[in-house]
DNA sequence: CCGGATCCTTCATGATACTG
DNA sequence: CAGTATCATGAAGGATCCGG
C-alpha cells in the first residue's frame, strides 16, 4: 500500500535540537546493557557478515528463492545464509513463503519494515561514502605516527 | 495499539529514485568483500560492544579523560576501552590529546566526523525505537510457531 | 593515570556430510 | 531445492599482570 518514505526530519537546522532529544533517549536505552536495547540490537543484526547483503539483494530483486539469493550474494555458505535469513525473519525484516512442491521452493522478500531497515542502511551508507576519503586519510596518518 | 508511524507517501517517486541510486552504490561497494567497503567498515566499527557507548558518552560530555569515560560507560574493562578508543581514533572519529604531566592525563573528544557518525547513529536509533514493538511482536510470533 | 602484553574463554563463521 | 547436523577454527572479549 505505502512504501515507507523518509519523513522530513533531515533538516540541518532542526537537527541540532532533535539530536539532543534523541541523545537522551538512546543514552538511556544503550546504557542498560542487560536489558533490551533496540539500537544495539538493530546494529547487531545488520553488522553480521551477510545480513546487509541479503537485505540489499532482496531490496534490489524484490523476491528471490534460496539459491537465487545464494548466487546473488556469491560467497556465502549455505549454512550461514540459512542462519542469516532465519534471524532476519525472526525480527520481521524478511518474509518466507514455502511452496509445498517437489522439488521444494521457498521465496524470500523484504517486509515493509525490512524495506525501512534497508533505507536506514542506505542513508548510513551514503554518509559513509562521503566520509571515505577522510577515513582513509586518518588511517594513513595514524599508521605513520606509530 | 501504537503502530510505529509510517509516513504517508508524499514524494514517493523522488525517494524511490534516490533509493535506487544509493542502492547501486552500496551494492557495488558491499559486493567486493575483499576490497575496502566503507559501509561494512563503518557498521563494523560501531557494531562492536563499546564503540557506540564511547561515542555517545563523548557526544554528551564533550571532553572526557580516560577514567571519566570508563566510569561513564560503567562495565567496560580497561583493555577494551583502550582498544575501542584506538580504533575510533584511527578512523578519525575521536581525537586524543596527551598532556605530558605526572600523573599522565589524556583527554578524548569527538572530531567533527565523529559527531557526524553520532548523528547518523542517532537517526538509526530513532528508527529502531519506533520499530521496537513490531520487532518484539515478530519475535514472539516466531517463537510460538516453532 | 593510562595502557601495553599475555593468556584464556566464548561465540560467530565455515567446511563437510546428510535428509525430506 | 532447501535445508539440518556435526565438527573445526579464528577472532572478539575479558582477566590479570606489568610498565612509563
Specify the CATH number for the domain of residue A70. 1.10.10.10
Instruction: Assess if residue B21 is contained within a domain.
Output: no
The model's pLDDT over A4-60, given as tens digits with 9 standing for 90+, comes to 443 333 444 455 555 555 555 555 555 554 456 777 888 898 899 899 999 999 999
Q: Answer yes or no: is A18 within a domain.
A: no
Q: Is A86 domain-assigned?
A: yes
Q: Which of A115, A138, A139 is nearest to A55 (CA)?
A: A115
Taking contacts as CB-CB distances below 8 angstroms, the residues of chain A near B123 are 9, 22, 120, 123
pLDDT tens sequence across B8-59:
334 445 555 555 555 655 555 555 544 567 778 888 898 999 999 999 999 9
Kindly state whether residue B23 falls inside one of the protein's structural domains. no
CA B2-A44-B5 angle, to 5 degrees, is 20
On whether residue A1 sits in a domain, the answer given is no
Q: Inspect the interface and report whether the beta carbons of A5 and B11 lie closer than 8 Å.
A: yes
* Domain of residue A140, residue span: 38-145
The residue whose grid cell reads 514455502 is A98
Give the three cell numbers for residue A119: 533505507
| B63 lies within 8 A of chain A by CB | no
Contacts with B56 (C-beta within 8 Å, 6 or more apart), sequence order: A23, A26, A27, A30, B118, B121
Q: Which of A38, A46, A89 sits opposite B129 (nearest CB)?
A: A38
pTM: 0.81
> How many alpha carbons fall within 13 Å on the CB side of residue A54?
33
Task: Look at residue B22 and tell me if it is in a domain.
Answer: no
Task: Report yes or no on B3 lying in a domain.
Answer: no
Q: Is the CB of residue A44 less than 8 Å away from at least one CB of chain B?
A: yes
Q: How far is A102 from chain B (nearest CA, A)?
A: 23
For the CA of B50 and the C1' of D12, the distance in angstroms is 12
Q: Which residues contact A121 (CB under 8 A, 6 or more apart)?
A: A46, A52, A55, A56, B26, B39
Query: E strands within chain A?
Result: 63-65, 94-99, 105-110
Q: Is A91 on the interface with B (CB under 8 A)?
A: yes
A42 touches strand C (CB under 7 A): no
For residue B65, give the nearest of B25, B108, B99 by alpha carbon: B108
Strand C contact at CB of residue A80, distance < 7 A:
yes
Domains identified in chain B, total number: 1
- Does A72 reside within a domain? yes
Pairing of strands A63-65, B63-65: unpaired
Amino acid at each position: 500500500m505505502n512504501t515507507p518514505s523518509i519523513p522530513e526530519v533531515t533538516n540541518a537546522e532542526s537537527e541540532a535540537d532533535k539530536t539532543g532529544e534523541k541523545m537522551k533517549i538512546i543514552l538511556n536505552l544503550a546504557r542498560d546493557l542487560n536489558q533490551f536495547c533496540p539500537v544495539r540490537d538493530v546494529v547487531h543484526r545488520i553488522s553480521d557478515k551477510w545480513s546487509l547483503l541479503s537485505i540489499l539483494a532482496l531490496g534490489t530483486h524484490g523476491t528471490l528463492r534460496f539459491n537465487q539469493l545464494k548466487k546473488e550474494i556469491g560467497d556465502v555458505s549455505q549454512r550461514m545464509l540459512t542462519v542469516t535469513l532465519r534471524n532476519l525473519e525472526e525480527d520481521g525484516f524478511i518474509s518466507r513463503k514455502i511452496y509445498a512442491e517437489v522439488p521444494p521452493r521457498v521465496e524470500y522478500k523484504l517486509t515493509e519494515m525490512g524495506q525501512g531497515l534497508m533505507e536506514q542502511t542506505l542513508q548510513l551508507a551514503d554518509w559513509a561514502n562521503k566520509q571515505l576519503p577522510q577515513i582513509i586519510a586518518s588511517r594513513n596518518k595514524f599508521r605513520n605516527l606509530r
